Amino acid sequence: MNLVNYLSASAIPIVILIIIIYGLFEKKKVYDIFLDVAKDGIKIVLKLFPTLIGIFVAVGVLRTSGILDLIVKFVSPITNLLNIPSEIMPLALLRPISGSASIGVAVDIMQKYGTDTFIGLVTSTIMGSTETTLYTIAVYTSCVGIKKTRFVLAAALLADIAGMISSVVIWQILS
């Protein structure tokens, strides 16, 4: 286990060292290239900042206003009919929107129900088999200026739904 810890701790410095050595071997100005890329990175961050603020505010409003609980209560008869635990519905609703919010909800679920319970296992599988779709699409498309995301959004949300349903079905079979 110590070897794995050592390798994981040294992976990034080794990669950086390899890049520097390669740049020197190719007679490139490594530091100047790094500064140019860093300037481009700051421009991208400034372009993305309004989108990120909007997503964070929307998630905060959803979590604190009680709208999320209202949606869960509204959908719970359908989820109960499909044998989907309503306890994972806040995660299912927030996961496509925000990674940090979904991690917070997943931690809350696992602390409340346990990690080795059916609900905990479904929660962890959802976290691994779905993506923060709206966040990812907003960041990547706004970064390159794409305006028409309708079909990308529909396909990505269907993939998230498939991942969530598969998580529940797999753990129903395995439990």
- Over residues 94-111, the pLDDT tens digits come to 898 888 788 888 998 999
For the record, the structure tokens of 9 come out as 């701790």
Give the residue among 73, 169, 161 at the shortest CA–CA distance from 118: 169
Report the distance separating Cα 93 and Cα 174, nearest Å. 24
Report the distance separating Cα 113 and Cα 117, nearest Å. 7
Report the distance separating Cα 45 and Cα 39, nearest Å. 10
- Residue 1 confidence (pLDDT): 66
- Over residues 144-171, the pLDDT tens digits come to 777 777 788 888 889 999 999 999 999 9
- Residue 72 confidence (pLDDT): 85
pLDDT under 50: residue ranges of the chain: none
